[in-house]
Amino acid sequence: MAELALREYLWVGIGVLLIVAWAVQQLFFTIRYPSNLPRIGGEPRFSLRTRWRFHTDARGLFKEVYDNYSKKGKTVLVPGYGFHDDIILPASALRWLQRQPERLAWKDIDLTPTIRMIVAQAATRFTLGGSPTGRKLCYDKGYLKACLDISDALVISAGLSGASPKLLRPILGRLGSISAKRQIRGLEKYFEPVYRERIRMLEEGVAESDAKMPEDHLQMMLRFGLSERRDEALSLHDMTKRLCIANFGSMHQTSIQIVNMLLNIIDSDEEFDTVSVLREEVAQIVGDNKASGWTKARVAAMTRADSVARETLRLHSFTSRGVVRKVVSDGVVTEDGIALPKGSSVSFIAYWLQTDGDVFENPFKFDPFRFSRAREAEMDEQGKPGLANMSFVSTGTQNLAFSHGKHACPGRFLVDFELKMVIAYVLMNYDIEFLPEYNGKRPENRWLADAYFPPKDVKIRVRRKERAG
């Protein structure tokens, strides 16, 4: 008797468990299909026969589904494995579906690290991407990250030795560069295959006109080195160090400039419609964004993007001083009669020259088209904007971020391309906006002594843009 009761309890228990499991499944795991989604056969639920048919005659079933629904542009629910159901889309929805992942929700991205990787990649393409071996490094995250880390280490090392008294410099400078030195050694293993390949090509005298001879910064450096400083050019270690200096030039300030520029574009969009104006210019000048669209003439014609870039450097240059020079001999006397001592350093305060209220209306306002308005007002008959002295690459007392004169940054012509390509690519492929907590205002940059840094940990939101057509 007791035995029987126990067995009954067991069955009841199992029964209750199954009911609970079924209820949970129904409540939480069952997909509720909308009422306007037809099921094949038109029944409110699939008969066992229909389900069975999927497992035994999917080919025939699908033929009917195809003829009755897909070909007619209708979406339909069909049985799937076991008791699962699947929605079948009509063939005509293929293009619509392809666009879907691109319409995913907004995604928050950490702006600085993202831009740094992009810039490192673009800069590497310029520096040593002229051969297949070099081009591989453009996609090697380990290499790119190592280059960026070394650039950071160089800033710390330079800051530490620069700030220390001359007497202590040999000690503090050395301490400050321990990490950079170790990392540069680490970079050698990435660099070695490209370096050896390039030296071999130059030493074995591949003709300059040979199509296989890469044309990039590294090749120029090595060609010059082999003729002027052979020992150095033939040392992997020395050339790795030179590569790091080149990387510093091409990666560090460019990333900062792009971060500032994107923040300024979003910040000014409400008032100036910056994004649409730039999109229009890109569409008009480089068309559908093919690589072949990027000629020097076209880049120069992007007056509005140019203005956005120049206005960004005007307000948000990383360095607040320009034309920093060291006095290397006695006897230099300034116009106001000051004899400059040998070893002293002179410079100009670029930040205040670039924000002087006597020269610039509303000097602290980011006015994206400040320069293009002036230039378009001076257009010639062919529609070419005037005032080339107000272009991004043109330096002078009102544009000192690249310094001025004989040693002005030669990289600015490359930066000019990079910035406009970033504007074109980002704005043509993405919508961008601030996080809601910024309240529509870009977070302020930070001063660190005389350097002006983009806001720490700044984020933006991006969403893939739906392409027209």
Ligand X SMILES: *[C@@H]1O[C@H](CO)[C@@H](O)[C@H](O)[C@H]1NC(C)=O
Q: Does 68 bind ligand X (CB under 6 A)?
A: yes
Q: Does 409 bind ligand HEM (CB under 6 A)?
A: yes
Give the shortest CB-390-to-ligand X separation in angstroms.
5
Phi–psi pair at 312, nearest 5 degrees? -65, -45
Report which of 385, 384, 405 is spatially closest to residue 394, judged by C-alpha positions.
405
Q: Do the beta carbons of residue 414 and residue 126 sit within 8 Å? A: yes
Close Cβ partners of 432 (under 8 Å, ≥ 6 residues apart)? 262, 265, 266, 275, 426, 460, 461, 462
Give the shortest CB-343-to-ligand HEM separation in angstroms.
17
Give the shortest CB-343-to-ligand X separation in angstroms.
33
Q: Does 408 bind ligand HEM (CB under 6 A)?
A: yes
CA distance 240 to 180: 12
Written as one letter, the residue type at 68 is: N
Q: Token pair of 52, please?
A: 């069975």
Size, binding site for ligand HEM by CB under 6 A = 18
Q: Which does 408 bind (CB under 5 to 8 A by kind): ligand HEM, ligand X, none?
A: ligand HEM
List 157, 183, 219, 257, residue binding ligand HEM (CB under 6 A): 257
CA distance 86 to 106: 28
Q: Which does 240 bind (CB under 5 to 8 A by kind): ligand X, ligand HEM, none?
A: none
Q: Token pair of 279, please?
A: 């999109």
Q: Does 354 bind ligand HEM (CB under 6 A)?
A: no
List 150, 411, 416, 452, residue binding ligand HEM (CB under 6 A): 411
Query: Considering only 194-202, 248-256, 354-362, 422-430, which stretch makes contact with ligand HEM by CB under 6 A?
Result: 248-256
Cβ-in-10-Å burial (0-12, 13-18, 19+) of 363 comes to middle
**From residue 417, how far is each of 134, 171, 383 by CA, in Å?**
21, 41, 21
List 402, 424, 434, 445, residue binding ligand HEM (CB under 6 A): 402
Give the shortest CB-319-to-ligand HEM separation in angstroms.
6
Query: Considering only 18-26, 44-52, 133-141, 403-411, which stretch makes contact with ligand HEM by CB under 6 A?
Result: 403-411
In the region spanning residues 29 to 48, those forming contacts with ligand X, defined by CB under 6 A, are 40-41
Q: Sign (positive/negative) of CA torsion 325, 326, 329, 335?
A: positive
Q: Does 323 bind ligand HEM (CB under 6 A)?
A: yes
CA atoms in the 13 A half-sphere facing the CB of 93: 14
For residues 76 and 218, which CB has a smaller minimum distance to ligand HEM in the complex? 218
CA atoms in the 13 A half-sphere facing the CB of 345: 8
Q: Does 265 bind ligand HEM (CB under 6 A)?
A: no
Q: Does 407 bind ligand HEM (CB under 6 A)?
A: yes
CA distance 10 to 4: 10
Give the shortest CB-64-to-ligand X separation in angstroms.
4
For residues 40 and 275, which CB has a smaller minimum distance to ligand X in the complex? 40
Q: Which does 401 bind (CB under 5 to 8 A by kind): ligand X, ligand HEM, none?
A: ligand HEM
Q: DSSP code of 39?
A: B
**From residue 435, how far is each of 26, 366, 431 by CA, in Å?**
38, 20, 13
Q: Which does 414 bind (CB under 5 to 8 A by kind): ligand HEM, ligand X, none?
A: ligand HEM
In the region spanning residues 380 to 399, those forming contacts with ligand X, defined by CB under 6 A, are 387, 389-390, 396, 398
CA distance 298 to 398: 25
Across 91-221, the runs of DSSP E, i.e. the strands, are 107-110
For residues 179 and 398, which CB has a smaller minimum distance to ligand X in the complex? 398
For residues 71 and 107, which CB has a smaller minimum distance to ligand X in the complex? 71
Q: Are strands 107-110 and 332-333 parallel, antiparallel or unpaired?
A: unpaired
The residue ranges that bind ligand X (CB under 6 A) are 40-41, 64-65, 68, 387, 389-390, 396, 398
Contacts with ligand HEM by CB under 6 A lie at: 249-250, 253-254, 257, 319, 323-324, 401-403, 407-411, 414-415
